[in-house]
Every structure is written in C-alpha cells, then in structure tokens.
Amino acid sequence: MKVITETELRDIFKKTPFTSFDLPNGTKLTPAASQFLSERKIVVLRDGVSEKDLAKEDKRFNVSAPTPAYPQKAPEPLPIANPKKAEAEAGDSNLNTKNVNPQKAEHMTHIRGAHLVPKSHPVISFRGKLDTFEAILLDLVTETESVGLTGLAKDLSDLLEYSRQMMKAEVTEQPLQVLEIRGWTPKDIRERSHYPKKFYGVNHFTPQPSHGRIMARMNYLRTQARELELAAVRAFYSDDGTTRDDILQAVNRFSSLIYVFMIELLAGEYKYGA
C-alpha cells in the first residue's frame, strides 16, 4: 500500500496551494500528513466524494480549487447558508483559540510536529523500545572495549550507529538504508545465523554461565532485539498492510546479526586486543 507523507504534501502545497485532497484507492496518509491537512482545513476526499456525502459530514469548506495531486473528480463548492454568521463564528473561534492553554496533557506526547497522540501509541512504544535497545548497545560497547574485545566493540558500535539512523528515519519519515554490517547483506546475515557450522565450524548453541559475562550480555541484547521487532510489527503492520517495510526488515535481522556475533565470540573469531 502506498503511503503519502507530510513531506510530499508540503512540497505539493508549496508549489500549488489547494483546499481539497483526493486520496486514491490503495493509498493512506501518515499521521503527520493527516495532521498537515487538518491544520489547514483541507478536505480529504476519496474518489471525489459526492456533495451529499460532504453535507452529511458537515464539511463547510470551499473546495472549488482543484486537487493538484492524485486528481480524480473535482467536487462542487459547498454554499454557506449565512456568510455573515459564519464569519462571526470564525472570529469567535479565533478568539477562543488565542485564549486556550497550549499545555498538553501528561498522557499525551508529540509524534511529529504539533501532532499529539497518547503515549501508548504503537509508534511511540516502538521508539521507546529502540531507545532501550540503543542504551543497552552503548553500555555493551563500552564494556567490550574495556576488556580488550575491540573487534566486537567495533561491530557493536556499527550496529548502534545504524539503530540511531533508524530512529532518525522513522521520526523524519525518510527511507532507511539497507542494513549492512562488515559488508554483510541481510541475506548474508541470515545464512551465517542459520548455518554456523558451515561458516565457523561450531553448532547452534544455547549460552551457558561458563561462556562468561560478555556472552550473557550479548544474549540479553539479542532478546531485546526480538522485543524491538515485535514493537515494530505493532507500529507498522495492520490489516491494510505495512507502512515501513524497510524498518521491519532491518529489525528482523538485528537478532540474527547479534546471534552471529555470539557464534563468532564462541568460535574465537574475536581476539582480545585486536
């Protein structure tokens, strides 16, 4: 399903301001895009919704300007029954707006720009999980460096940097580059995690206390990657499809990549001081 973002709408509006937006079948607006239209009182149409339907929804906007993007059917303008009354009401509305306390409720937060959502919103939950994942990664990078596992620290640092790029891409609604650590593509990561004997000469394993503290903490990081993936699915998947396939694929590979690091640690691929 195609997703229309706030950035796209801003570009279109900057070139040709519009008062209605015809949303074609098979597309949906991001929350930020919906907020952009709502703040400007731009009517959202679907397949050129009829004047009767507009009246039923009490949409009192002048929609005579043609939709500059995805045009299908230009709606007729809706007459205002009493222009003077409507003008007075608009004046009262502006006055009331100025007197409203802009402070947000404690259970609400900004998802993008001025758009407020409950803190339980799936996307906000995903950001929280990603933030936790980054914090654990940062802590583990410093510990692996302190014990001399510089190669592992470098790989974990690269993963940390990528996870921060993911946060930025999600918040700004920009594409996320494909995950590539040590030159491994997502397919390479999957192959190595599925066939450790082939690549490292060791079998699949379950971490044990005898494997030491670093292995135990790597395993904990792996479980947090699994939790992060579940949060991403809740945020970006619905019955209508997915909205961020790039993020979903990346987080799906996080746990596999960390498991590969664990296999390399067990197989002695990471050397102390190197």
| 105 occurs within a structural domain | no
3-state secondary structure 18-59: CCEEECCCCEEECHHHHHHHHHCCCEEECCCCCHHHHHHCCC
Looking at the structure, tell me whether residues 133 and 76 fall in a common domain: no
Length of the chain: 274
According to the model, what pLDDT value does residue 108 have?
Answer: 80
Which tokens in the block code for residue 52? 């009767």
Looking at the structure, tell me whether residues 82 and 143 fall in a common domain: no
| 141 occurs within a structural domain | yes
Contact 248, 228 (CB under 8 A): no
CB atoms within 10 A of CB 134: 18
Contact 231, 129 (CB under 8 A): yes
Looking at the structure, tell me whether residues 52 and 156 fall in a common domain: no
Looking at the structure, tell me whether residues 42 and 158 fall in a common domain: no
User: Last residue of some domain: 41, 69, 99?
Assistant: 99
Cα 257 from Cα 194, distance rounded (Å) = 11
Q: Any idea what the CATH number is for the domain that residue 255 is in?
A: 1.20.1200.10
User: Last residue of some domain: 99, 129, 164?
Assistant: 99
Looking at the structure, tell me whether residues 92 and 126 fall in a common domain: no
Residue 70: domain span: 2-99
User: Last residue of some domain: 34, 65, 99?
Assistant: 99
How do beta strands 43-45 and 20-22 pair? parallel
| Distance, CA of 43 to chain centre | 26
Looking at the structure, tell me whether residues 148 and 78 fall in a common domain: no
The conformation of residue 184, written as its DSSP 8-state character, comes to: B
According to the model, what pLDDT value does residue 25 have?
Answer: 72
Cα 12 from Cα 18, distance rounded (Å) = 9
Looking at the structure, tell me whether residues 150 and 262 fall in a common domain: yes
Return per-residue pLDDT of the chain as tens, 274 residues: 677 887 888 878 888 888 888 877 777 788 777 777 877 888 887 766 544 454 454 444 444 444 444 444 445 555 544 555 545 555 554 544 444 445 678 888 877 777 788 888 999 999 999 999 999 999 999 999 999 999 999 999 999 999 999 999 999 999 999 988 999 999 999 999 999 999 999 999 999 999 999 999 999 999 999 999 999 999 999 888 898 999 999 999 999 999 999 999 999 999 887 6
Contact 90, 101 (CB under 8 A): no
According to the model, what pLDDT value does residue 84 have?
Answer: 55
Question: pTM value?
Answer: 0.62
| 110 occurs within a structural domain | no
Looking at the structure, tell me whether residues 187 and 262 fall in a common domain: yes
| Distance, CA of 46 to chain centre | 25
| 79 occurs within a structural domain | yes
How many structural domains is the chain composed of?
2
